[in-house]
Structure formats: C-alpha cells, structure tokens
Structure 1
Amino acid sequence: MTTPDHPSPASQPPAPAAQDRIYRSPMGLVGGVLLLLVVGWLGFDALFQGHGRAPWLALAGMILIVPLVIAFTLRPAVFAGEDRLRIRNPFRAVALPWGEVASLRSGYSNEVVAKSGRKYQLWSVPVSLRARKKAELRKSRAAAEAAGGGSTPSRGLGGLGALGGSGAPGGPTRADTDQVMDELRDMLERRGTEESAQGEVTVRWAYEVIAPAAAGAVLLAILLATG
C-alpha cells in the first residue's frame, strides 16, 4: 500500500528537462552593442537635426544597417540540447538532431557536417588563430616544464615564480572556441545514437532580419536614384 510519506513512482513529477547549453561570442555582443549605439547616435542626429533629404536618407540607412548589425553580432548563437543542436546564424536557423550530425570540424572556421554532407558554419563560435597559438604555447611550456621536473622558475613580477614552486604557466592549454567544440563533440558521442536524438534537419530563413534590411535597401536606392 502506498502511504503519503512514500508516493508511488508513477505519482512523482517528471524530472525537469536539462536546459540547453548556449554558446555566444562575447566580443560579438560587445561589438554589436557599440555599433548600434554609434548608428543610433548618428542616425537620430540626422533625423532630428538634418535638413532636406538628410532625415529620409538617415531613416533608410538605419532600416538597412540596424538589422544587419543585429544579424551579424547579437543574433548568432548555438544551442546544444540533449536531443538536438540548434544553430542561429545571421540569416538562417538550423536544427540538427544529434543523430543527423556526422562530425564537428575545426579549421579556419568551426562547422557542423550533417550526414547528408551539408555543412553549417557556427558563427557564434569563431576561430581565433591568435588564441589558438597562445594556447599551444602554454601547452608546450607546460610539457617542457613537466619534462624538466617542474622546477623551472617563472619570470613573473617580483620573482613570484620562486615562491610558486613549480612555476607552471597559468591559463588553459586549449583556445576557448576549441574547448566549446570539444564539449559539442562529447555531446555528439553521448547522444548521437539515442532514440530521442533522431529526426530530420530543419532550416528556417530569418525573414525577421531579411525583410527590414531589404526594405531599407530598396528605400535607400529609391532616394539615391531620385536625388
């Protein structure tokens, strides 16, 4: 018999679904906000202080530029869930069940390769060759110090290396975006064969970005042609 203190498993609430991991570019977000502030400042100044055709040109330019800035800086994101990988790029949103992902590649850009052979770039996980080079340098230094017994002093400020003991260099030995790709590969390995992670790849165009940008371009072209 089931007592109030010991409810049956069927009566217990289901476990909450795991939240998606969200990957975005911090530099892209910061750059996007700064660009929007500059565009807004210049645009509204021309709208309210300009004369003749200047306000109309400023309005058309803002309708064109603002959606593009948002598309390339604030919009890109990667959502890694238990069942699928969702990619939000500037003009498209792609949903790939893990069962349809063939591989995740890292070269001069990070991309997902579907089993159909289609490739989708991860705009929000850009490759930084400089960060990758720094990480490789830290890795080689750590390996050299480990091979030497870890007794090499660091050349830090104030001779802190002598007080620190091993003097191993700080910081990760993998670039941030390479670590993100490692996490995605791990999820692919764990979830790729699960029944709930099967399905079809879906692609949706971002008309909420394309439509206003196209309208701004048409309006700007008309104003320039009739000027």
Structure 2
Amino acid sequence: MSKDRVYRSPAGMAGGVLVLALALWLGIDALVVGEGNTRWKAIAALLFLVPLVAAYTVRPAVFANEDRLRVRNPFRVIVLPWAEVASFRSAYSNEVFAEGGDKYQLWSIPVSLRGRKKAARREDRRAAGGAGRGRGMLGGMGQLQLGGRTDGAGSTAVEADGPVRAQGDKTMDELRELWEARKDAASSKGAVTVRWAYEIVVPVAVGAVGLAVLLGVG
C-alpha cells in the first residue's frame, strides 16, 4: 500500500491548540485553588471540553493513497475505496459522495469564501498582466525578426501555469485527480466502512452528564 497523503487545516489546528491550552490552564488552576464541588466541576468540564475541542480542531484529517480515501471527522472515521466514490462536491463545504448515495463532509478541508475571492482577484490581475505582456511581445516580434533571433524552440509564446485557485479548491482538485486515476484499479475495490470515534464520544458524554449533575446540585 502506498504512503498516505495527509490533508489538514493548519488554521483549525492552530486555533484548537490555543483553545486547549487556555482550557487546561483554567481547569488546572481550578483544581489547585478550588474548594468544594469546584474541583469536581473542573474535572467534568475538562472531560467534556478537551475532547470536544480536539474533535473539531486537531482531530480532523483526510488521508488518501492509491487504494482508498480515509476521512477522519470529529466523531466518525469513514473509509471509502476509490471504486466506491461517486463524486466530490465543493460549495459551502467540501463533500464526498459514495456510490450508495451517502454524503460525507470533509471537515479538515474547509471552504474559504474569502480565499476564493482572493484567488479570483489574483487570477484577474494575472490575466490582465498576461494580456499586457502579450501585446508587448506582439509589438516586439518585428525586432526579433529583423535581428533574426528566436528562442530555442522557435516560439515566443508564454506558457500558463494554470488558474489561481484557493488552497481548499486545489486540494479537492488533487483528490479528484487521484480518484479518476485509481477508481478502476483492482486494489481500489471494497466496501465503505464507518466507525464511530468512541474515544471522543464517551468522555464528552461522561463529562456532559457529570457537569450537568454537579451544576444541578450546586
């Protein structure tokens, strides 16, 4: 099996680490100086908040190799062999559709409308600059012909690097390309599997119940 390509959200991870650090600092402080039920409330709050924050910020990731796509979302892990992927969609969120019709959101590849607008502006500026350079090259063709000089290929055309795209859209393009290349491979067949992340669900549930009981009794 080939090595996985891993896709995460750097901004989400950075924000999650900061929130976790703040929660741990406040929780530990309450454990040290708190009295009575305060310490138990701090334990319950940490048990509830730490895995919940980690689930939505640090945990999400998408792993892709030549055989399958593995999506690690806040509370579930979905494994889709490429043959079972029907399509990808990028609108207000990035999603993958299975052949059976099920839809799964790619939490670690967020859609940035701001990033799309910024990329569109850069593409417009690049297109305008390319048009200006093209006119300059056409104006200079006479000089090249008079001097009898051309480049090594005998062409004066400028190759385009492709349209400017937001990072999330570029990542989705990579996944689509890998899917198109591998969806018919024999090793890409299999069943879609979905597993709940009990290591996240259980402590969050226990912490929520414990915090509710402690707040209820005062």
TM category (shorter chain) comes to: 0.7 to 0.9
The reply on whether 1:191 has 2:182 as its aligned counterpart is yes
Q: Distance in 2 between matches of 1:175 and 1:135?
A: 6
Indicate the residue corresponding to 2:103 in structure 1. Answer: 119
2:18 alignment partner AA:
L
Q: Tell me, yes or no, if the aligned pair for 1:104 and 1:185 is still in contact at 8 Å.
A: yes
Indicate the residue corresponding to 1:174 in structure 2. Answer: 165
The reply on whether 1:219 has 2:203 as its aligned counterpart is no
Unmatched 5+ stretches in structure 1: 1-16, 153-171
Which of 49, 66, 82 pairs up with 1:82?
Answer: 66
How many residue pairs get aligned? The number is: 192
Aligned ranges 1:203-218 → 2 under 5 Å = 203-218=194-209
**Residues 151 and 138 (structure 1 numbering): CA distance in 2 closer, same or farther, change over 3 Å?**
farther
Q: Distance in 2 between matches of 1:212 and 1:192?
A: 38
Indicate the residue corresponding to 1:162 in structure 2. Answer: none
Aligned-pair Cα RMSD in Å = 1.3
| Structure 1 outlier segments of 4+, above 6 Å | none
**Deviation per residue, 1:113-167 (Å, 9 max, x gap):** 1111110000000000001110011111111121222689xxxxxxxxxxxxxxx
1:200 alignment partner AA:
A
1:173 alignment partner AA:
V
1:107 alignment partner AA:
A
Q: Tell me, yes or no, if the aligned pair for 1:145 and 1:151 is still in contact at 8 Å.
A: no
The reply on whether 1:143 has 2:127 as its aligned counterpart is yes
Which of 98, 103, 109 pairs up with 2:93?
Answer: 109
Q: Tell me, yes or no, if the aligned pair for 1:91 and 1:210 is still in contact at 8 Å.
A: yes
Indicate the residue corresponding to 1:165 in structure 2. Answer: none
Unmatched 5+ stretches in structure 2: 137-162
Considering Cα pairs closer than 8 Å and 6+ residues apart, tell me whether 1 or 2 has the greater RCO. 2
TM-score w.r.t. the length of structure 2 is 0.85
TM-score w.r.t. the length of structure 1 is 0.82
Secondary structure (helix, strand or coil) at the match of 1:148 reads helix
Q: Distance in 1 between matches of 2:126 and 2:15?
A: 34
Aligned ranges 1:58-73 → 2 under 5 Å = 58-73=42-57
Q: Distance in 2 between matches of 1:151 and 1:178?
A: 31
